[in-house]
Amino acid sequence: MYLSPLFEDRSQGFTHLIISAFRCFMKRSITSEDSLEAIDLVAHLILDIIMGQIYHDEKIIVKLLETFDVKLANIEKAMYQIEEKSYLSCDTAKEFVHKYIFKLVESKLYMTAVTLMEHFSIDHYGQSFLLDMIRRNQFKSAEKWATFMGKPMLSILVEEFIERNMLKDAYEIIKKNDLKQDFPDVYKMCKESLIKNLAENGCWDVAEARTNNDRQLMEYLVYLAMEAGYTEKVDEWCDLYSLGKFLNIKDLDELLVKDIIWVDEAESLLDATSHIEGFKVIGLDSEWKPNYVKGSRPNKVSILQIASENMVFIFDLIKLHKMVPDVLDNCLTRIFLSPRILKLGMKKKQIM
């Protein structure tokens, strides 16, 4: 390890090979005395690296600590053994390591700093440190630090993710750290989003499995299936999961469309968009075929149909594109890119 920097460009690869060999060596049945001696030697090496007596990057320090499980007591012992040398101050091992961690933080090497804090159980930093990592988009480091610090810091991290609309990341932390009771609304919203995405891609059976027999999620899935017109699935799930309340609203009279609205000018376009953004589920269809009128030139027709449970909007795309192209583009973007609306029917690529 002391000679590997002499290999220059090949130094890092050679160093990793040495550490891998040491890792295999430490797993073998070596004596306790040999193991302790190896750890003491590594502690000396780590001190020399930190103090600049030998060059290795910070990742090598992390690998050495993890491979040999070097503790603060080993660092302290190594410090006392070389204390008579002028280049080492009389700090305690914890103070010495803390100063090195501070330099890592100043250099924005957050993951390495957090790994060292976790390894040596140093919890000097608090909420401001977490927020700084989040501001710099160091989300993995922030999660690692919050997990080490415990539930209060994890809760702050979840709240920050929610504020940044990083719901998937928030959901993963909630799930991994058993915070469901602390963030029930977020957990439910993320689960529903997952179910909705699966349904939108036609993966109904997978969506059913992902509900994990949660009645509320199952009711949500049945609602999506009902909106999409999958009556067989609705019947099957209502019977299987005893969802009797849905049987009362499957009457055809209740599913009849109440309004069919033709959209061919700016005002009706904006009004239709406003209505559609309030729906959870919409069905899509379009007609691109030319419409030939006897005795006249072919007249291209391009319409888009967007339907909810009881309303259908028929968009005259040709006319709208000629009259209000910018408004049309804005409205369709709002509809098709909205994460809150489940879009069933034809794929968006076929329409846009």
Asked whether residue 83 is domain-assigned, the answer is yes
Domain boundary among 85, 102, 119: 119
SS (H, E, C) the chain: CCCHHHHHHHHHHHHHHHHHHHHHHHHCCCCHHHHHHHHHHHHHHHHHHHCCCCCCCHHHHHHHHHHHCCCHHHHHHHHHHCCCCCCCCCCCHHHHHHHHHHHHHHCCCHHHHHHHHHHHCCCCCCHHHHHHHHHCCCHHHHHHHHHHHCHHHHHHHHHHHHHCCCHHHHHHHHHHCCCCCCCHHHHHHHHHHHHHHHHHCCCHHHHHHHCCCCHHHHHHHHHHHHHHCCHHHHHHHHHHCCCHHHHCCCCHHHHCCCEEEEECCHHHHHHHHHHHCCCCEEEEEEECCCECCCCCCCECCCEEEEECCCEEEEEEHHHHHHHCHHHHHHHHHHHHCCCCCEEEECCHHHHC
Q: Decide if 307 contacts 327 (C-beta within 8 A).
A: no
Domain boundary among 215, 233, 252: 252
Among the ranges 143-157, 232-246, 249-263, which has the highest mean pLDDT value?
Answer: 143-157
**311: phi then psi, degrees, rounded to nearest 5:** -140, 145
| Nearest Cα to Cα of residue 200 among 173, 237, 227, 232 | 227
81 lies in the same domain as 112: yes
Among the listed ranges 30-34, 198-202, 315-319, which one has the minimum average pLDDT value?
A: 30-34
Q: Decide if 341 contacts 284 (C-beta within 8 A).
A: no
Q: Is the pLDDT confidence value at 221 over 80?
A: yes
Question: Looking at the 3D structure of the chain, how many domains does it have?
Answer: 3
pLDDT tier, 297 (very low <50, low <70, confident <90, very high otherwise): low
Among the listed ranges 111-125, 129-143, 214-228, which one has the minimum average pLDDT value?
A: 214-228
| Nearest Cα to Cα of residue 94 among 116, 63, 115 | 116
Residues 333, 317, 256, 271: is their CA dihedral positive or negative?
positive
pLDDT tier, 83 (very low <50, low <70, confident <90, very high otherwise): low
When pLDDT is averaged across residues 137-144 and rounded to a whole number, the result is 95
**203: phi then psi, degrees, rounded to nearest 5:** -95, 65
CB count, 10 Å around CB of 212? 9
Q: Is the pLDDT confidence value at 119 over 90?
A: yes
53 lies in the same domain as 31: yes
Pick 90 or 265 by higher pLDDT: 265
pTM tops 0.85, yes or no: no
Q: Is the pLDDT confidence value at 44 over 50?
A: yes
**140: phi then psi, degrees, rounded to nearest 5:** -65, -40
54 lies in the same domain as 69: yes
Q: Is the pLDDT confidence value at 173 over 90?
A: yes
Alpha-carbon distance of 295 to 21, in angstroms, equals 87
The C-alpha angle 211, 217, 219, rounded to 5 degrees, equals: 125
CB count, 10 Å around CB of 31? 8
Q: Is the pLDDT confidence value at 311 over 80?
A: yes
Alpha-carbon distance of 190 to 170, in angstroms, equals 9
Alpha-carbon distance of 323 to 319, in angstroms, equals 6
Q: Is the pLDDT confidence value at 255 over 50?
A: no
Residue 85: per-residue pLDDT: 55
Among the listed ranges 5-9, 96-100, 283-287, which one has the minimum average pLDDT value?
A: 5-9
Torsion of CA 3, 7, 10, 15, to 10 degrees: 0
223 lies in the same domain as 324: no
Domain boundary among 76, 93, 119: 119
43 lies in the same domain as 113: yes
pLDDT tier, 318 (very low <50, low <70, confident <90, very high otherwise): confident
Range of the domain at 247: 203-252
Alpha-carbon distance of 218 to 139, in angstroms, equals 32
Q: What is the CATH number of the domain that holds 288?
A: 3.30.420.10
Pick 334 or 81 by higher pLDDT: 334
**334: phi then psi, degrees, rounded to nearest 5:** -60, -40
51 lies in the same domain as 112: yes
Diameter of the chain measured on Cα atoms: 107
1 lies in the same domain as 115: yes
59 lies in the same domain as 81: yes
Asked whether residue 96 is domain-assigned, the answer is yes
Asked whether residue 115 is domain-assigned, the answer is yes
